[in-house]
Chain A
Amino acid sequence: MEKVLESRGLWFAYDDDYVLEDISVSVDRSDFVAIVGPNGGGKTTLVKLITGLLQPTMGTLTVLGGPPAKAGSRIGYVPQFSTMDASFPITVLEVVLQGLFHKSMIGPAWKRDAVEQGLRSLEQLGIADLAGRHFGQLSGGQKQRTLLARALVSSPELLILDEPTSSVDIAVEEDIYELFKELNSVMTILLVTHDITFVSSYVNKVMCLNRRSACHATEEIALERERIAPYGHKVTEIRHQCGL
C-alpha cells in the first residue's frame, strides 16, 4: 500500500546547525500520528519539510507518493493562528476559500460552486453563521475552526495540525479532538503537540522528535503514562525508553 509519508535518512540544517538528523519515518493511510518533542526539537521544521516549504539537506522524503512540493494541494494544513495579524482585513469565508485557491485563478470574483463548497466546509464545523465576519475579531476556538475549515475544504488526503489547541480552552479542545477522530476515518492526520497525555487516547502512533526520531505505537505510551506524572518530563522519559 502507498505510504502517505516516508523518509529515509532525512537531515536538515539551517546554515550549519543540524535540526533534524537521520530521520526515517513512515506513515500509513488512516494513521493518526502525534509528533511530540521539546521546543527546538525540530517539530516545526519537519512540518515545513513535509509541506514543501523547506528542502532536505540530505536524504529522501516522499509525501503522498511524490516530492512534497507536488503534494501541496492534497494536504490540509492548520498553522498556529496566534502569530496571525488580528487586524488584517479578511472575512471568515475568504480565509476558508484560500483552501481552494490556485495561482491560475485570475480576477476578483469567486465561482459560485467554490463559495458553496466554502460554506459547506464552515457548516461542517458549525460556524456557517460566521461566514461574513472579520476573521481577526473571532474567539480563539472560532479562529481554530475557520483554519480547520480552510484545511478541509479541498478534501485533503493528509491533514497536518500544528498545536491545534494551544490557544483554546479545555471544552473546545475536547470538541476539536472528537472532530479529528471523526475525520481520521477518511484522512491521515499528523498532529504536532506538547500534550501527549491528552492526545494518546486518540492517536495510534507517536513520533518523538528531538533532532532524532523514534516511533511508538500508542499501547506503549499508555503504559508509560501511568508512571510519568509531571508534564515537563514526559517527552524525555519516552525518548529515553526507546534508547536514544
Chain B
Amino acid sequence: MDSVIPLYLFTFTAALLSGIAAGIAGTFVVTRRLAVMSGGLAHAVLGGIGLAVFLSFEPLWGALAAALLFVLILVLGKNRLGEREDTVIAALWSLGMALGVLFISLTPGYTVDLLSYLFGNILLVTAKNLFALAILDLFLILGVVLFKKHILYVSFDEEYSAMRGLPVNLMSLLFLGVIAVTIVLLTRIVGLVLVIALLALPASAANLFSRHLTSMMILASLFAVLFNSAGLGISYLLNLPSGAMIIIVSAAGYGAARAVRVLMKRKREAPEG
C-alpha cells in the first residue's frame, strides 16, 4: 500500500502534517516555558518503546503510554510531593532512556534500529503514522478555534484566569497531554533526541514577528513546514540523515529570523528619507 504513493509526495505530506502539529504545540511549549520538560519527555519515551519492542507490540503505544506516565509522575511529584520540577524531569529523562536500552538489549534476536528511534528516519514513517498526525492536526486546529481565548488567557496570566473561574489546572494538564502526544508522533520523523528543536525553533522564530497568539501558531506552523520540507529535500538530494537535516535547517531558519528582526528594527529606528 505504502509503495503506491511516490516517495516525494509521501515525504512532503509528512513535512506538512508534522509541521502543523509542531507549530501549534510548539507555541504552547515556548509561551508556557516547557522546552526542558518537553526535551525530557521526548527522551523518556524510549522506555515505553523498549518495553513495547520487548513484548513485541506496536512501539507507538508504548511511547504514548510512557509519555502520559511521564506527565502524570511530573504533575504528582510537583504538586503532591513538592519535589522540584527540574529534578523530576532530569530523573525521568535518564530513567526512561535506561529502561529503553535495557529492554531493547533484552529483546531476543535484537533487530531494532536504535538509531532510527533516537534520530528519526523518514523512510520508516508509515501511512498509519501520517494518518495519526492528520487526526492530531485536526484536533489541535479545532481546539484552538473553539478555545482560543481560554488558551490565550491561561497562558498569559494563570492567576487572573483562576480568579475568574477558569479551570486552570485542567487546562495545564491538557496542554501537557497535547504536547506529549505531539512529541510521540513527531519522534517517528526527527527522532526523540531531536524533536524538541522542531517544537521550539519554529515557534521561537514566529514569536519574533507576532503580536497575537494565533498568528504565532500559524506562522510557527508555516516555518515548521518550510524547515521540514527544506531539511527533507536536502537530505534526499545529498543522501544525509533526514532528522538531523531538519533540525540544522530549523536552527539556520531561526538564526535568519533573528537577523531579519534586527534589520526590521534598525529600519524603523532610522531617520525618515
Contacts and interface: CB of A to CB of B under 8 A. Distances in A.
Contact of A106 (B147, B167, B210, B215): B147
A103 B170 CA distance: 13
Interface string B205-228: 001001111111000000000000
B146 interface: yes
Interface in B146-164: 146-150, 152-153, 155-157, 159-164
A231 interface: no
Interface residues of B, number: 31
Contacts of A102: 164-165
Contacts of B146: 106-107
B238 interface: no
Contacts of B4: none
A134 interface: yes
Contacts of B211: 89-91, 132-134
B167 A87 contact: no
A94 B82 CA distance: 34
Q: Is chain B's binding surface mostly helix, strand, loop or mixed?
A: helix
Interface residues of A, number: 31
Contacts of B165: 69, 72-73, 102-103
12 contacts: A72-B165, A88-B155, A89-B213, A90-B152, A94-B152, A98-B153, A98-B157, A98-B160, A101-B153, A103-B164, A103-B166, A108-B149
Given A87-B207, A102-B165, A79 B149 contact: no
Contacts of B212: 89-91, 94
A230 to B, nearest CB: 34
Contact of A79 (B152, B157, B215, B216): B157
Given A90-B152, A95-B156, A98-B156, A72 B164 contact: yes
Q: Is chain A's binding surface mostly helix, strand, loop or mixed?
A: loop
Interface in A1-25: 15
A105 interface: yes
Contact of B164 (A85, A101, A108, A132): A101
Given A89-B207, A89-B211, A77 B163 contact: yes
A53 interface: yes
